[in-house]
Amino acid sequence: MRNILIKGDNKKALHYLIDEKDLAGKVDLVYIDPPFATGGEFKKDLTGRVSTISNSSSGKIAYSDKLKGKDFIQFLQERVEIIYDLLSDRGSFYLHIDYKIGHYVKCMLDEVFGIENFRNDITRIKCNPKNFSRIGYGNIKDMILFYTKGKKPIWHEPREPMSEEDIAKLYAKVDKEGRHYTTVPIHAPGETKDGKSSQKFKGLLPPPGRHWRCSVEELEELDRQGLIEWSAKGNPRKINYADEHSTKKMQDIWTFKDPINPLYPTEKNHEMLQTIIKASSNADSIVMDCFAGSGGTLVAASQLGRKWIGIDQSEMAIETVRKNLSDNGIFASEDTYDYFDLSR
């Protein structure tokens, strides 16, 4: 499939992808960053600087964000239901949303995807602390709601480097050679009456209701290598060294701050987009963003070797997408992707 860029209302464009492009069930990842129901207009002045200006005639409107409440939820639901049909059985859906409306949006997404397919409410630290005078705590975050279409989605677990603080906390013990380590149980839940994971190890049987995590032969080898620590009471635990585990599982609080001088009002952190694409798509996957904005998702998808579909109804967004792709050295001309104008 060739990459696709569409100008026009995304509801119409999503139907077009199903009816004319036969893409139902073929998209592995959708990330969207829809308007946050702020009631304002986002504009771009002649210098290229972006801002939110709801009471000025100056600048060129990038997009309007006028829908609120039930109208906004309905607007989203109509599009999410079509997105669901476009997703493959192993597909994932990420929706980036403001904290004020996000919890209402989650209720709608639970209906569309099923609450059993809700994976995460990711907190994204978006900026440095603010000193606003309004009543309430300062807002430095927004949220990303992560759903999958089924029980076996594409998933490449994201991991991040461990800091010195992480090592001190997670690997608090230090051996004679100065290596940081921790210990973990060598047994797991569930009994096995037969087999090597239920036999005696050094005269010990697994605790009631549990079994050895590996065979007795493997435990014997670990003990010979000095990788079993015995407590004063004779309880064995496996040693894990920090220097053999340089990364840790990524958690659901992310610090990916927005660009200081964005190309477009809603431009998001590039590393964050790459993280999502790496985690929830394969090299041959189709990635879609139907609120394309600056085209950041499309750039990240291209850099990671994925095919992409971008949709936006804003003329400024389409211009910005093309510029962003060109500036990143991805495309010399639109001949390398298919462009459709459905706004006419």
Instruction: Tell me, yes or no, whether 71 and 141 share the same domain.
Output: yes
Distances (CA, A) of 63 to 44, 59, 128, 172, 264: 10, 12, 25, 52, 10
Count H helices and E strands in the chain, helices first.
Answer: 8, 20
Instruction: Tell me, yes or no, whether 139 and 218 share the same domain.
Output: no
Instruction: Tell me, yes or no, whether 169 and 191 share the same domain.
Output: yes
Q: Is 212 helix (H, G, I), strand (E, B) or coil?
A: strand
pLDDT for the residue 267: 87
Point out the residues of the chain with pLDDT beneath 70: 37-68, 194, 329-335
pLDDT for the residue 55: 43
Give this prediction's pTM.
Answer: 0.81
* Residue 217: φ, ψ to 5°: -60, -40
Instruction: Tell me, yes or no, whether 13 and 149 share the same domain.
Output: yes
Question: What DSSP string runs through 239-260?
Answer: EEEGGG--EEE--SEEE-PPPS
Domain count, the chain: 2
Choosing from 247, 268, 301, the residue where a domain stops is 247
DSSP annotation of 231: -
Instruction: Tell me, yes or no, whether 140 and 21 share the same domain.
Output: yes
Instruction: Tell me, yes or no, whether 119 and 167 share the same domain.
Output: no
DSSP annotation of 207: P
Tally Cβ neighbours within 10 Å of residue 190: 10
Strands (E), 45-191: 50-52, 60-64, 87-97, 118-125, 141-148, 159-161, 173-174, 180-185, 187-189
pLDDT for the residue 19: 98
DSSP annotation of 344: -
Instruction: Tell me, yes or no, whether 61 and 174 share the same domain.
Output: no
Choosing from 220, 247, 274, the residue where a domain stops is 247
Helix axes of 315-327 and 296-303: crossing angle, nearest 10 degrees: 30
Task: In whole angstroms, give the CA distance from residue 337 to residue 308.
Answer: 9
Question: What DSSP string runs through 270-333?
Answer: HHHHHHHHHHH--TT-EEEESS-TT-HHHHHHHHTT-EEEEEES-HHHHHHHHHHHHHTTS-SS
| Owning domain of residue 177 | 161-247
Instruction: Tell me, yes or no, whether 129 and 190 share the same domain.
Output: no
pLDDT for the residue 52: 47
Distances (CA, A) of 272 to 59, 172, 309: 29, 30, 19
Instruction: Tell me, yes or no, whether 191 and 322 share the same domain.
Output: no
pLDDT for the residue 54: 41
Q: Which CATH number goes with the domain that contains 142?
A: 3.40.50.150
Choosing from 247, 262, 277, the residue where a domain stops is 247
Instruction: Tell me, yes or no, whether 186 and 98 share the same domain.
Output: no
Instruction: Tell me, yes or no, whether 118 and 61 share the same domain.
Output: yes
Task: Assess contact for 229 and 239: CB atoms under 8 A.
Answer: yes
Instruction: Tell me, yes or no, whether 154 and 195 share the same domain.
Output: no
